[in-house]
Amino acid sequence: MWCLALPFLAALAVTGSGCGEKGRKLPHSADSVTIPYQEFGKTTLFCYDGPFKLWRLDTDYMRKNIGDTAKMLAVPVEITTYDSLGDPQTRILADSGHTSSELESFDIWGNVYVKSADDLVIRSESLWWNKNTRKVGSDDFVQITTPEGDVLRGKGLDANESFTRWSLRESVSGRFPNFRERVEQEDQLESENGSGTE
């Protein structure tokens, strides 16, 4: 009767152990788990605020700790946010991310890419979102490209979750292509619109 795998037979022969000996420990994997967890593949996770869908996460791999924190890790991250009518607003991509057990906060990192509903593009190495404050931010360097082609860079970002309001904290620089022509066009439009009024 074979009771162990072949690699262990030699060890049994040397020690003279048999299959029925009491007190003998069964072999086990060298991998140990300090905190139990669950793993999921090709997963979609939704976050709601009451009946309203806030965001959807699509990922190839998700790991959820079963301990008190129940923090979830996702690799990679693809998030779609929704407005109050349930329409898609912002698309967010990153290499990795994790969320709290109550889905009240989300941290993502690695090649973060954000495209808002009005075609604002944000790139950074990390980004966080807080459900209670409805704020998004980063402590890393951030590059923002506006729909007009302006490129702004700086360290640290503070924004609302729809990215309709945002500011860079420090070391801010920018490039504004065709700035003079755009200002002249705006001035001309304003003068044309105001020429018929008294």
Tokens of 101: 């057990």
The mean pLDDT value for 104-133 works out to: 94
CA distances, 91 to each of 55, 98, 119 (Å): 10, 17, 10
**Which residues in 73-107 are b (16+ Cβ under 10 Å) and which e?**
bbebbbbebbeeeeeebbebebebbbbeeebeebb
CB 69 within 8 A of CB 85: no
Residue 197 has pLDDT above 90, yes or no: no
Contact 79, 55 (CB under 8 A): yes
pLDDT tens column, 145-164: 999 899 999 999 999 988 99
Sort residue 145 into left (φ over 0), alpha (ψ -120 to 50) or beta: beta
Query: Whole-prediction pTM value?
Result: 0.72
Contact (CB, 8 A) for 104 and 79: no
pLDDT at 6: 39
Q: Give residue 27's pLDDT.
A: 67
Residue 191 pLDDT class (50, 70, 90 cuts): confident
Chain-wide mean pLDDT for the chain?
83
pLDDT above 70: percentage of residues in the chain: 79
What is the tens place of the pLDDT at every residue in 28-53?
556 666 677 888 899 998 888 888 89
pLDDT reading at 142 higher than 90:
yes
Rg (CA), the chain: 27
Cα dist from 98 to 18, 41, 62, 72, 108, whole Å: 48, 15, 9, 5, 6
